[in-house]
Amino acid sequence: MRLAQFTILIILLTLGLYISLTLYFFGSTRPCGILEARMKPYRIKLEREAALEIERKHSREGEQSKFQDPEILRLLEEDRKRIEEAPVTATRKLHQELSELTATECAVRAINWRPQE
């Protein structure tokens, strides 16, 4: 009888510790939430860098035409919007990608994922 109560107590304490630690460190106890929390800053950085690279390309084209071409000016305005919206776009893409995974796949990726440097 005492052994069963002790075992239940240990299980409950372990579960409580897991929930509290994962909520504290990742903001979620779900594997996909943990994976999203780990990947989100990296994905935002990549999205912003890609938008900046496109903007640089259009700026170089604009310099060649001395910014007289209205098409270049329109593209530069779109590029500015793309840079501003990079965090939202990256989060939306990541969320869509993760919604297609099972909880087990998320858990495995959360454990093994490392940012590409």
DSSP 78-106: HHHHHHHTHHHHHHHHHHHHHHTS-HHHH
- Asked whether residue 93 is domain-assigned, the answer is yes
Residue 71 has a pLDDT of 82
- Asked whether residue 77 is domain-assigned, the answer is yes
Residue 29 has a pLDDT of 66
- Asked whether residue 21 is domain-assigned, the answer is yes
Rounded average pLDDT per 10-residue block, the chain, 117 residues: 88 88 69 88 94 87 76 85 93 94 87 84
Q: Where in the sequence is the domain holding 56, given as residue range(s)?
A: 2-112
Work out how many domains the chain is built from and give that number. Answer: 1
- Asked whether residue 32 is domain-assigned, the answer is yes
- Asked whether residue 117 is domain-assigned, the answer is no
Residue 27 has a pLDDT of 65
3-state secondary structure of 41: helix
